[in-house]
């Protein structure tokens, strides 16, 4: 049996100070990496959203779409490569994978837009706290969609 090639996260866990956590990491690797990259994409999404909505004065729902585009690109690449190790054999499989990924993300974009509309437009809560709450909901939904439908083994 061929041994799995170690990625940067595996090598980091081999550092002497982190070695004691390696069994936990190996057992929960997928969820831990998903949470890590979920955090990264959330930071990107919230930052681009804040820049658009609060700094540039773009309508919050429009700013959210721009933040979504960048965050989904980062999420696809990181989930495919590091979280789910979902390499494809050919162009057709890759297209199926990316289309199902973006399809799931369009669904959660609509959920997020609804949360923002209700929170900001109807309930008049401040932009950023509503965006952060929406991101928590979206990260959970995106994991379920990715795990069950996009990068299934």
Check the CA dihedral 43-86-152-113 and report its sign.
positive
What is the rounded distance in angstroms from the CA atom of residue 17 to the CA atom of residue 113? 42
What is the rounded distance in angstroms from the CA atom of residue 113 to the CA atom of residue 65? 9
Q: Is residue 89 part of a domain?
A: yes
Q: Is residue 3 part of a domain?
A: no
Question: Which tens digits make up the pLDDT trace of 49-101?
Answer: 999 999 999 999 999 999 999 999 999 999 998 998 888 889 999 999 999 99
Q: Is residue 81 part of a domain?
A: yes
Q: Which domain holds residue 95?
A: 8-150
**Mean of pLDDT over the chain:** 90
Q: Is residue 2 part of a domain?
A: no
Q: Is residue 56 part of a domain?
A: yes
What is the rounded distance in angstroms from the CA atom of residue 125 to the CA atom of residue 133? 11
Q: Is residue 60 part of a domain?
A: yes
Q: Is residue 77 part of a domain?
A: yes
* pLDDT of 1 strictly over 90: no
Average pLDDT over residues 120-125: 96
Helix 127-145 crosses helix 60-78 at what angle (to 10 degrees)? 30
Q: How confident is the model at residue 5 (pLDDT cuts 50, 70, 90)?
A: confident
The secondary structure of the chain as a DSSP string is -PPPPP-HHHHHHTSTTTGGGHHHHHHTHHHHHHHHHHHHHHHHHHHHHHIIIIIS---HHHHHHHHHHHHHHHHHHHIIIIIS----SSHHHHHHHHHHHHHHHHHHHHHHHHHHIIIIIIS---HHHHHHHHHHHHHHHHHHHIIIIIS--
Average pLDDT over residues 23-30: 92
Q: Is residue 124 part of a domain?
A: yes
Instruction: Give me the number of domains the chain comprises.
Output: 1
- Look at 3 and 48; give whichever has higher pLDDT: 48
């Amino acid at each position: 049996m061929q041994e799995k090639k170690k990625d940067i996260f595996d090598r980091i866990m081999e550092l002497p100070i982190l070695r004691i956590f390696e069994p936990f990491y190996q057992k929960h690797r997928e969820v831990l990496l998903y949470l890590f990259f979920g955090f990264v994409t959330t930071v990107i999404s919230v930052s681009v959203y804040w820049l658009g909505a609060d700094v540039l004065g773009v309508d919050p729902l429009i700013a959210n779409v721009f933040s979504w585009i960048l965050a989904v690109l980062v999420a696809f690449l990181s989930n495919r490569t590091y979280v789910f190790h979902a390499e494809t054999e050919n162009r057709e499989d890759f297209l199926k994978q990316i289309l199902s990924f973006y399809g799931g993300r369009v669904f959660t974009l609509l959920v997020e837009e609804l949360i923002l509309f209700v929170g900001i437009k109807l309930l008049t809560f401040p932009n950023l706290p509503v965006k952060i709450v929406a991101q928590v909901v979206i990260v959970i939904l995106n994991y379920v969609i990715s795990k069950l439908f996009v990068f299934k083994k």
